[in-house]
Chain A
Amino acid sequence: MAILGWGVALIIFFPILWMIVTGFKTEAEAIADPSLIFTPTLESYVEVQSRADYSKFAWNSVVVSFGSTLLALLIAIPSAYAMAFLPTKRTRGTLLWMLSTKMLPSVGVLVPIYLLFRDFGLLDTRTGLTIVYTLMNLPIVVWMLYTFFKDLPRDILEAGRMDGAGTLQEIWYLLLPLTLPGIASTGLLSVILSWNEAFWSLNLTTSQAAPLTAYIASFSSPEGLFWAKLSAASTMAIAPILIFGWLTQKQMVRGLTFGAVK
């Protein structure tokens, strides 16, 4: 059983492993017959790192994914608080409606978003991409926060209210510290989704605000094909997210299925 399990796992993981390995080869070795025997070199990493454009695109990824996550959390926390602790007859409907906005296919609204962005000068800007990602992830963030907040015993917040805390103090001094792990994993999921998003980044950015997803795609032209460098750049692009993903797998299920699978 162990052999079967490990065999399957390694076959699935192989393309990633192969990419990581290729990043440590020279260009000549990279296109030679597949081999695991070679002297590892950091050549490609050094070269990719030393290129100014790589760090620019990496920085774009960081700014856009963390920026949009921060914004989404800021907007979602009060909303999820209200839904979890001050539910009304409309709360259930609002939650389901938020979920339904996530079902709107991006490609269905590509044209208007593109034209709006063109008219407002948001094409190829980090601000524009941040806005799109914030809205794209907002429903998931609200839902995840809602499920975490709901798990919190009401009495704790009520006690604070008795002591005269206003809504904002209640959120800031009681809710946030108590649900920090939940908020952190919600944030990580949002970072993962934004970091890997490719449809909007490919269509709304060109050179200035392009994040790593779009930058890596530029390697697809046959002239610019350097496998070792492509591998090194890709490995660096996916490494942080792979680790985030491993850490948040359980919450990931909760977030992506809107709690429908437990």
Chain B
Amino acid sequence: MNRTRASGRTVGGLRTLSLQAPAVTLLLLWMIVPLAMTVWFSFQRYNLLMPGMTGFAGLENYEYLVTDPALWSAMGTTLLLVGWVLVITVVGGTLLAVLFQQDFMGRGIARVLAISPFFVMPTVSALVWKNMMMHPANGVLAWLSSSLGLPVVDWFSSLPLTSIIIIVSWQWLPFALLILLTAMQSLDEDQVEAARMDGAGPVAVFFYITLPHLKRAISVVIMIEMIFLLTIFAEIFVTTSGGPGLATTNLAYLIYIRALLDFDVGTASAGGVIAIILANIVAIFLVRMVAKNLDS
């Protein structure tokens, strides 16, 4: 960085400060105020339906949350959802990136079609899948399986979480593809050529050259997806409302239920604190990676 410029001109420092002030101040407020309030509420007795019941609660909200089986079920659902979607999108995305890197007729258009689901708003994709793809009577999947003589699956009642995983994977597979395709473009073609000359088959090239080259991009995909997938909400809200039972209630949806349906601000905030901690564990690694990139 240009240090002489910075230290050599005090006026410049002030100018920098005033130019950055609006963005920094707003983001600081946006971060600190709600964060502090969440932590504060999480230690308070605060239910909007019971105005009389207030005061310091200590760890009561956390205790209530931790002893509630719903939390653990929601944690399990969150992990299953994040885990499966990650596996599907990363493996699928890598294979697709290799495929769409090949030269073929109309590759550009095929690529554009394949990344499209990422630009569809989540409420639309959830409804399209629910009503037109997975509907047990009139859905395309039901029609397909019955034409093939297979039993028809009632997706949302018999496989609720699987259905959500399919929808979310469909939305995020294009994201992985987009990032990995971009990373592919910096792959050294000469190196691949040299390996081919030395008799390496396509599988060997994939495992010894392509995959190591994509390592960094794959880890970025995993971290960014994790941050978004930990708080998947709209897809569940639109399709199953967390049910049947708690089958598709993840942490985000549980907090929503506690906060805006039960009006239990205290417990919801304790849940919020847990969500923030989880996201931060992932974020630390991501920020480190980006920081490394900033130096080079």
Contact surface of A with B, Cβ cutoff 8 Å: 1-2, 4-6, 8-10, 12-16, 18-19, 22, 31-34, 75-76, 78-79, 81-83, 86-89, 91-92, 94-96, 98-101, 103-116, 135, 138-139, 142, 167, 192, 195-196, 198-199, 202-203, 212-214, 216-217, 219-220, 225, 227, 230-231, 234, 237-238, 241-242, 244-246, 249-250, 252-253, 256-262
Q: Which 4 A-B pairs have the closest CB atoms?
A: A245-B119, A112-B37, A198-B234, A103-B283
Closest to B107 in A: A5
Partner of A198, one of B31, B104, B121, B283: B121
Asked whether A75 lies within 8 Å of B26 as measured between CB atoms, the reply is yes
- Known A-B contacts A31-B138, A192-B119; A86 and B12 likewise in contact (beta carbons under 8 Å): yes
Asked whether A230 lies within 8 Å of B131 as measured between CB atoms, the reply is yes
Asked whether A111 lies within 8 Å of B272 as measured between CB atoms, the reply is yes
- Known A-B contacts A238-B121, A260-B293; A103 and B133 likewise in contact (beta carbons under 8 Å): no
**18 pairs of residues in contact across A and B, judged by CB atoms under 8 Å:** A18-B133, A33-B143, A87-B2, A108-B255, A110-B268, A112-B38, A114-B260, A195-B121, A198-B234, A213-B122, A213-B123, A217-B238, A237-B121, A245-B116, A249-B115, A258-B290, A261-B217, A262-B182
- Known A-B contacts A138-B23, A138-B26; A106 and B114 likewise in contact (beta carbons under 8 Å): no
Partner of B102, one of A1, A202, A256, A262: A1
Chain B CB within 10 Å — which of A113, A231, A257 has the most? A257
- Known A-B contacts A5-B100, A111-B41, A230-B131; A99 and B114 likewise in contact (beta carbons under 8 Å): no
- Known A-B contacts A1-B104, A111-B272; A238 and B124 likewise in contact (beta carbons under 8 Å): yes
Q: List A contacts of B227 (CB < 8 A).
A: 103, 105
Number of interface residues of B (CB under 8 A): 107
Asked whether B260 lies within 8 Å of A15 as measured between CB atoms, the reply is no
Q: Which applies to chain B's interface (DSSP): helix, strand, loop or mixed?
A: helix
- Known A-B contacts A217-B234, A234-B124, A258-B290; A15 and B114 likewise in contact (beta carbons under 8 Å): no
Asked whether B120 lies within 8 Å of A138 as measured between CB atoms, the reply is no
Partner of B216, one of A32, A91, A95, A261: A261
- Roughly how many angstroms separate A16 CA and B140 CA in the complex, as a whole number? 13
Q: List A contacts of B178 (CB < 8 A).
A: 249, 252-253
Would you list which residues of chain B between 59 and 109 have a CB under 8 Å from chain A?
96, 99-100, 102-107, 109
Is B165 interfacial (CB-CB < 8 Å)? no
- Roughly how many angstroms separate A14 CA and B132 CA in the complex, as a whole number? 11
Q: What is the minimal beta-carbon distance from B92 to any residue of chain A, in angstroms? A: 10
Q: List A contacts of B111 (CB < 8 A).
A: 9
- Known A-B contacts A107-B252, A112-B37; A101 and B31 likewise in contact (beta carbons under 8 Å): yes
Q: List B contacts of A230 (CB < 8 A).
A: 127, 131
Closest to B29 in A: A135
Q: List B contacts of A19 (CB < 8 A).
A: 124, 128, 132
- Roughly how many angstroms separate A81 CA and B20 CA in the complex, as a whole number? 9
Other than the known A91-B16, A111-B37, what 20 A-B pairs have Cβ atoms closer than 8 Å?
A8-B110, A78-B19, A86-B6, A86-B16, A92-B294, A94-B20, A98-B27, A105-B227, A105-B276, A109-B34, A111-B268, A115-B265, A116-B34, A167-B15, A242-B119, A253-B178, A253-B182, A256-B224, A261-B179, A261-B183
Asked whether A257 lies within 8 Å of B122 as measured between CB atoms, the reply is no
Asked whether A79 lies within 8 Å of B124 as measured between CB atoms, the reply is no
- Roughly how many angstroms separate A138 CA and B25 CA in the complex, as a whole number? 12
Q: What is the minimal beta-carbon distance from B147 to any residue of chain A, in angstroms? A: 9
Closest to A199 in B: B233
- Roughly how many angstroms separate A32 CA and B137 CA in the complex, as a whole number? 9
Asked whether A257 lies within 8 Å of B132 as measured between CB atoms, the reply is no
- Roughly how many angstroms separate A139 CA and B170 CA in the complex, as a whole number? 27
- Known A-B contacts A9-B110, A22-B132, A33-B143; A259 and B293 likewise in contact (beta carbons under 8 Å): yes
Asked whether B113 lies within 8 Å of A4 as measured between CB atoms, the reply is no
- Roughly how many angstroms separate A82 CA and B12 CA in the complex, as a whole number? 9
- Roughly how many angstroms separate A238 CA and B127 CA in the complex, as a whole number? 13
Q: List B contacts of A13 (CB < 8 A).
A: 113-114, 116-117
